[in-house]
Amino acid sequence: MANSTYNKTEMNRLQRILRRLTTKRMKIPYKVVFYLLFIFAILLSFLSYFSLLGCDSQAARLIQILTGLAIAATAVIALSNADLPKSKIQSQVKAYIAPNNTGEETYHKKELSDELQEFYRKCSDTFKSYRVQFKITNTSSFNWINPVVTFRLPIKGQVPNRDNRPKTITDPVYTIKKYRSNTFNTQTNVRLLEMIE
């Protein structure tokens, strides 16, 4: 009974030592190599204990091998420290319309070109566009260095726009559709906003 308790304590101590030897952020291949080296060293020690103990030349060779393994383990730790895995970004994105900043714009279908009228056929004769706010919150445990934000937006949400060509009275007011955003006024580290579609 006392022996099994002693063994458990020893096992726990060994586990604690092994946990301390590798860092949490060590990549899996490094961990595998490190533990293999450790197991190999233990096996060699047992082999020497049961068969080769007492033989000076074998003992010297064993010490040499163990020293080599220790050097290899040190090299693995050094390599893994130089090649740490990247952290993962954690963020929360919330879409909403701010009641005091709706940016509401009204369009009449008769002001649209034929192509746009076809595009907005689902809408009523008078429809509106709004500023949809996307609040991106950094929930990671670290600061983002030079973040890049990319949006992929649905085609159908585009708003009617005027083109710069000179117009006559009979020409429609809105002839093109596109997205508009406040990204150019954002004074943050966001250095690029790529809009697809």
Partner 1 sequence: MNEHITIWVRMVLENLESDNDSVFVYVDCENADGFTETVYINPSELLKGIIESDTAGMDGQIQGENKYKDKNPT
Task: Please give the residue ranges that form the binding site for partner 1 (CB under 8 A).
Answer: 86-103, 105, 119-120, 122-124, 127-154, 156-160, 179-188, 190, 193
Q: How far is the CB of 32 from partner 1 (least distance, A)?
A: 22
Report the residue number, 110 or 135, with the smaller CB distance to partner 1: 135
Q: In the complex with partner 1, which residue's Cβ is closer, 152 or 165?
A: 152
Half-sphere exposure of residue 22, counting CA atoms within 13 Å on the CB side? 23
Shortest distance in whole angstroms from residue 79 CB to partner 1 = 20
Residue 107 has a CB neighbour count (10 Å cut-off) of 19
Q: Pick the closer one to partner 1 by CB: 37 or 149.
A: 149
Cβ 164 to partner 1 shortest distance, Å: 15
Range list of β-strands (E), 40-83 = none
Is residue 88 left, alpha or beta, with left meaning phi > 0 and alpha meaning psi from -120 to 50?
Answer: beta
Distance CA 14, CA 9 (A): 9
